[in-house]
Structure formats: C-alpha cells, structure tokens
Amino acid sequence: MNKIIFITGGARSGKSDYALKTAEDIGNIRGYIATAEALDDEMRERIEIHRKSRGDGWHTLEEPRNLLNLFESLQTKYDVLIIDCLTLWVSNLMGDGLNDEEILKMADNLSKKIDRLKLNFIIVTNELGMGIVPDNPLGRRFRDIAGKVNQIIAAISNEVYFMVSGIPMKIK
C-alpha cells in the first residue's frame, strides 16, 4: 500500500527540508519531482540551492506541468517520490492560460492517480489562505485555486503536516 504525506505551510517554514528528511526515513531509492522553472537568475539560484540541499541519493525530475504523465513509468523505480511543489505547479498552469475548471480537473485526476499507485508520495505545497487578501484579481484567483487544489490532495493523504518555523504539526 502506498503512503501519501502532504506537507503545507508558509514560505520558508521548513516544508522542503522536512519532506527530504521524511523521504530518507521511508526508503533508499528516492525521486524528487521539481515543478519550478528557472525563468530568471534569482530562480536559477534558488533551484541550485535546493539541488545541493538534497545531496547524493536523489534522482531529480524536472516537470513543471505534466505530472499526470510522469508517474506510471516511475512506479517501480522508487521507494518514495517527492513532489515539490503544488503551488508552483498551479502557477505554471495558470501561466499557460488554463482556466480554473481545467486546473481543478487536473488536480482531481492527479489525486486519483496518486491514490491508486503503489508508491509512497510526499507532496509539498504552500498554505496561502492565512495572509491578507490579495489586492488584485489574479492574486485572489491564484490563492483560491491553490487552496482548492490543496484540499483535493489533502483529502487523499494518509498524513498531513503543517509546518511552522521548522516544526511539523501533524493535523491528519
């Protein structure tokens, strides 16, 4: 049976570090699916820092959009897969012009695929609903869609953690 662990929290709350540590406790053959894209120098630097923090023992797959098509071939290759992160995935899809319904359908399909695969997943996302309401329609739309996507994936997860200042709080 697969185990699905969902890790959420604010920016720089320790989500990715906790995901890495948790994955290392689960298995030796680990995959890391990165949804970030290096579109500018600052993001390239962030990605490189993330790569270095993983160290050896990780196979990194960069897939900013097509998560659904990725998993079937990986099912027998890994003890655990990290997806980092869902909010960047949502941002990428929005940037491609997908509407809300298309994104939510993709998230629903993603949840069904993750739930049926015999593979351990750790899924990282950002909690966006605890701050101020964005002052523009695009920001509010992003917050709303990301929140709904988080709810879809959290619903199928065996464990859900909320990170605060590097401390994981188990909420499911």
Catalytic residues: 50
Name the 3-class secondary structure at 23. helix
* Alpha-carbon gap, residue 62 to 1, rounded angstroms: 26
Instruction: For Cα atoms 126, 18, 153, give the angle at the middle one, nearest 5 degrees.
Output: 45
Strand partners, 161: 7, 170
Q: Are 123 and 133 in contact (CB under 8 A)?
A: no
